[in-house]
Amino acid sequence: MPEHVLPADIERSSMRIIGEELRSRDIVLPEENAAVITRVIHATADFDFARTLFFTPGAVQAGAAALSRGVDIVTDTNMARAGVSKPGLQKLGGQVFCFMAEPEIARSAKEKGTTRASAAMEYAAEKHPGAVLAIGNAPTALYTIADQIEAGLRPALVIAVPVGFVNVVESKERLTAVCETYGVPAIAAMGRKGGSTVAAAICNALLYTAADMLDPAKRGWQ
């Protein structure tokens, strides 16, 4: 028989196991970033993220504060969009968007000879200039965001966690360098690892922090 069957019990046990394994590896998480790091490990079962997640100073606080004001989230995949907590958004008054499948984005990308991810970030900069940008797939989205920040865009937070082998490492390095230069809060998974699951997990950690929902009981779970 399973040890637990109720969602809240499963999550609490998972977090306890994560804590024990972190201690066994002599990893001490910075308190201000712990909720995000443990949520990502919970979503991936990958303890490498305890060492590879990068935070600009105050990034978690800035992201949670923005979401508490009802700031919207824009993602680069519908998978990440689907994974973001709708009860958390509802409690705080925000929304989550993904423009990748919009016909006008496809037309814009074709006309400009660029990717839909890049066109979607240009559209997001116009329609949601102060949003939380959560990128889990497309390095070209990060390059576009970096260019936009240099041109004056100020997102509430950039979550830079694409996964893969081509332009992934380089795009994260450029994005984080630009964010540090211009004082834009950023959270990034340095290296090749990441993905839509990681992007959604970071968003949820911030939403749960902002909405006082880190305990699953406060999400209405049994």
In a domain, 154, yes or no: yes
Q: Let me know: does 191 contact 147? Beta carbons within 8 Å.
A: no
In a domain, 12, yes or no: no
Number of domains composing the chain: 1
Range of the domain at 110: 51-214
Q: What is the pTM of this model?
A: 0.95
In a domain, 157, yes or no: yes
Q: Is the pLDDT of residue 139 over 60?
A: yes
Determine which one of 12, 42, 192, 219 is catalytic: 42
Cα 143–chain centre separation: 16
Question: pLDDT tens digits, residue range 207-221?
Answer: 999 999 998 888 876
In a domain, 201, yes or no: yes
Please tell me the predicted confidence (pLDDT) of residue 21: 97
Residue 157 belongs to domain with CATH number: 3.40.50.10230
In a domain, 99, yes or no: yes
Listed residue (116, 128, 125, 131) closest to 76, CA to CA: 116
In a domain, 86, yes or no: yes
In a domain, 36, yes or no: no
In a domain, 221, yes or no: no
Identify any residues that bridge with 134 across adjacent strands, giving them in sequence order.
75, 159
Q: Is 88 exposed, middle or buried (0-12, 13-18, 19+ CB in 10 A)?
A: buried
Tell me, yes or no, if 42 is annotated catalytic.
yes
